[in-house]
Amino acid sequence: ESQERMAVVVAPEDAEKFRALASKENLESTIVAQVKAEPRLKMTWNGKTIVDISREFLNSNGAEK
């Protein structure tokens, strides 16, 4: 049994078309994120920010250089 998960990045204007095509193939799809120019990873849950970290920190894997 495979528990694989896949992520696909599509342009915002193509998101609903992609979801319709996935549905036609009997695949579930959900929009889970937006790619933005700001170099930060931000996550929210129920309207609250739960993660807000810099790209620089992500690139370091948390280790000082």
Q: Indicate whether 3 belongs to any domain.
A: no
Contact 28, 22 (CB under 8 A): yes
pLDDT digits (tens, 9 = 90+) for 1-18: 556 678 899 999 999 999
Contact between 53 and 40 (Cβ < 8 Å): yes
For residue 4, being part of any structural domain is answered with no
Question: What is the number of domains present in the chain?
Answer: 1
Residue 25 domain-assigned? Answer: yes
pLDDT at 58 over 70: yes
Average pLDDT (16-30) is 96
Is 1 within a domain?
no
pTM across the whole model: 0.63
Q: Residue 26's domain spans which residues?
A: 12-60
**Of the candidates 4, 28, 35, which has an alpha carbon nearest to the alpha carbon of residue 18?**
28
Is residue 65 one of the residues assigned to a domain? no
The predicted-structure confidence for 27-43, as pLDDT tens digits, reads as follows 999 998 898 999 999 99
